[in-house]
Amino acid sequence: MRPVSPRLTSPRLTRDEMRRLISFAAADNNRPSKPEPKDIPVVAKPVAAKPGAAKPGAVKKARDPRKGPGPSKLAYRLSRAWKKPMVRNAALVYLPLALLGLIGWRVAADDQMRGAIEARVAAVIERIAARPEFAVRGVAVSGGSTGLRIDVHAVIGVEPGTSSLTLDVDDLRRRVEALGPVESAAVQFDPQGTLMVRVVERVPVVLYRNAENRLVVMDEGGVEIGPASIRANYRDLPVILGDGAPEHVSEVLSLIETAPEIVPRLRAFVRVGQRRWDVVLDRDMLIKLPAENSTEALSQIMALHYAQDLLDRDLAVIDMRFPERPALRMSPEAAETYQIRRAVAAIGGEET
């Protein structure tokens, strides 16, 4: 039994397909075969030479290969070079910057060209700034006293109709804050074109007698607000003097808060040796406070005053520089009166 061809037993062929293949094979076998050609000598026909053709026996030159559809060598090399970041940066960044620098150097080197460009730019800016939509409608100042608002208007010096493009808002703010009574300021334009200025005025808390024996008003930070030409206008403010007093205004305020009863009798706070305070009251009474814990020492004095009317006595000095050893000194009149009383008591046989 002949082995069946694997191609015929392939499960992929149906029965009809197999029959059709067998019939095709049988028809091919029954077809007559062609006779084989006999050996006939072939005679080469002479071929006419084409114009420009090479002569027989000449060596043929190698023909250039045909160009394919790909890019040329130059295009390929340029594309590979463009993929390098250094080449791209040089072409897109450094080269334009170099050209701009060259143009700028050329313009800067020519005074006539530079002047013409500046004049043209200035003319364009002036025409734009002169447009009515950029004009200042007015100036509105809020905050502070009436006198301060008048000073702010004078310092700004902006009239209605001035172009807003020619104004420097930061410069205006600095000019306003340069005023002594102004603690801070905000300057801006509203949508209607009005220049809005908001100021925060410093609060005067003390009067400082400077080295020139002039009184100036200061806030709690020791910043000078302005001169105090008339003392009667600031009766409620205490007077401080001495080197380093403006830097310790907060200590003065703490002492006043500790002993508010001394304010009606208060004359001045004197800074001694840039270390401590002396409190001067009326009737030439002097309270010497320590360099440290001055508020506690003043609290002890006020406790004695509440208990024994210490501040109402005829004393010249209350020395609290050493709180553990306080000292009292009578006034000269009180000392003289005390000596007279002791002498009279001695004559009468009694001492007081």
pTM, entire model: 0.57
Confidence of residue 10 (pLDDT cuts 50, 70, 90): very low
Write the single-letter amino acid at 37.
P
* pLDDT higher than 60, residue 1: no
Confidence of residue 288 (pLDDT cuts 50, 70, 90): very high
Cβ pair 272, 291 in contact under 8 A: no
* pLDDT higher than 60, residue 328: yes
Q: Which two tokens stand for residue 122?
A: 């200035």
In 133-288, which residue ranges form alpha helices assigned H by DSSP? Answer: 146-156, 169-177, 249-258
Cβ pair 323, 290 in contact under 8 A: yes
Q: Which of 123-137, 220-234, 277-291 has the highest mean pLDDT?
A: 277-291
Confidence of residue 338 (pLDDT cuts 50, 70, 90): low
| 18: Cβ contacts below 8 Å, ≥ 6 apart | 8
Res 28: pLDDT: 60
Half-sphere exposure of 205 (CA within 13 A, CB side): 17
Domains for the chain: give ranges and CATH numbers.
Answer: 132-201 (3.10.20.310), 206-346 (3.40.50.11690)
* pLDDT higher than 50, residue 8: no
* pLDDT higher than 50, residue 77: yes
Res 256: pLDDT: 94
Q: Which two tokens stand for residue 263?
A: 């304010």
Rg of the chain's alpha carbons, rounded to an integer? Answer: 56
Q: What pLDDT digit, counting tens, does each position of 41-51 carry?
A: 544 455 555 55
Res 351: pLDDT: 47
More confident residue, 345 or 118: 118
Cβ pair 207, 218 in contact under 8 A: yes
Between strands 286-288 and 315-319, the pairing is parallel
pLDDT > 90 in the chain, percent: 38
Burial 298-315 (b: 16+ CB within 10 A, else e): beebbeebeeeebbeeeb
Q: Which two tokens stand for residue 226?
A: 């302005």
